[in-house]
Amino acid sequence: MSREKPPPIPSGSGEHRATVAAGFVTGLLSGVHARGLDPSGLLQAVGLAPEALAARQARVPIASYVTLYNTVVSELGDEGFALFSQPLRAGTFEFLCRGMLGSADLGEALERASRFLRLVLPDLRLSIARDGAVARLEIAEFRRLRPGTNDPCRVFAFEWLLRLLHGVSCWLVARPLTLAQVRFPFARPEHADDYALIYTELSTFGAKTLVATLDAGALELPVRRSAADLAAFLEGAPGKITMLYRRDREMARAVRELLSKSLPSAPDLADTARELRLSTRTLHRRLEEEGTTFREIKDGLRREIALARLEKGGDSVADIAAALGYSEPSAFFRAFQGWTGLAPSAYRKRAGNGSK
């Protein structure tokens, strides 16, 4: 994969604005690596220094990610990045979109997507179900993607398909759709912090299949796009589309970072608004516009830290509760059961670190 190579420029350092974690780039290139090909030329062609991806906290500009996405698809001749048992030929994404257009509502559009994907992507199965007020989108392996559960190709395949479906769904109904919760069928990846911004604060790992939930009313939203709208949507596709409805959520990120730095103290909404030089009402409104709430961000941050420390082992449940700002271990215990359905000690045991 040799190309004319412009001078490399560094990837994003610590800046979060309009960037993604380098882990998503590693996943995007996992099929290239699996084929035994050297991706250095591809990276340098979009202005990314290959060595910059090695840093654990490296970040990549979204524009570079989108360009790399489309470049890899073009080089491989495969819109599925060589992740699956058969390639997704050029035009697959366009025909997916065309097949969903003309549906009465989003539920019908997703059912059409499910049938289309069975024809072109036999490795994965998409199913949609309503459970009362909740809609469930499930992506399951029909054929085993990779021998290892946490193989980068397998991880990226699930990440990619959910982002793709979510992006197209948002476009079809002409509004952002908030994912309430997503359970991913692999262990927590190093770039999991970005999941709170790209998917939802309630992203968990280690499930048997990928299950994303949202308000069931979303399935009844009318499809507002037509074939005449598709040309503009496809410009720069499919790379642009997978990040088009990524919620950069600058206010949510600012709140998350402030809360993280404040631990073990637990500032409330008014305290946080004051620190950000906003009124409480303005902060609440801006978070609502970004599809989240102060409580969701706070609970999501605490949950992620708690899960990581329990999986790592070494800290007592009482120490973790104190570090997260809970005045009593019993309050942490109740919150943790609400997040996972398990007691902290049971979760630690299931993670393989024994009980403490």
pLDDT in tens, the chain (356 residues): 433 333 333 333 334 456 788 889 999 999 999 888 888 888 888 888 888 787 767 888 888 888 899 899 988 999 999 999 999 998 999 999 999 999 999 999 999 999 999 999 999 999 999 988 899 999 999 988 877 788 999 999 999 999 999 989 988 998 878 888 999 999 999 888 888 878 887 899 999 999 999 999 999 999 999 888 888 888 877 777 766 544 556 788 788 888 988 888 888 999 999 999 999 999 988 887 766 788 888 888 888 888 888 877 778 889 999 999 898 889 998 888 888 788 888 888 876 654 44
Are 289 and 343 members of one domain? yes
- The residue among 244, 269, 297 that closes a domain is 244
Residue 132: the pLDDT is: 87
Please state, in angstroms and rounded to a whole number, the distance separating the CA atoms of residues 188 and 18: 23
Domain total for the chain? Answer: 3
Are 201 and 341 members of one domain? no
What's the burial of 75, exposed, middle or buried (CB within 10 Å: 0-12/13-18/19+)?
middle
In a domain, 212, yes or no: yes
Amino acid, res. 278: L
- The residue among 183, 213, 244 that closes a domain is 244
pLDDT tens digits along 81-121: 999 999 999 899 999 999 999 999 999 999 999 999 999 99
Are 109 and 225 members of one domain? yes
Are 101 and 239 members of one domain? yes
Please state, in angstroms and rounded to a whole number, the distance separating the CA atoms of residues 113 and 95: 10
In a domain, 14, yes or no: no
Identify the residue whose tokens are 């991706």.
39
What's the burial of 292, exposed, middle or buried (CB within 10 Å: 0-12/13-18/19+)?
buried
In a domain, 12, yes or no: no
Are 147 and 272 members of one domain? no
**Cα end-to-end span (Å), the chain:** 51
Range of the domain at 137: 92-244
**Cβ–Cβ < 8 Å for 191, 60:** no
Work out the number of other CB atoms within 10 angstroms of the CB of residue 273.
20
Q: Which of 212, 218, 138 is nearest to 176 (CA)?
A: 218
In a domain, 111, yes or no: yes
What distances in angstroms separate CA 89 from CA 22, 92, 96, 120, one per listed residue? Answer: 26, 6, 12, 9
Are 127 and 235 members of one domain? yes
Please state, in angstroms and rounded to a whole number, the distance separating the CA atoms of residues 317 and 297: 22
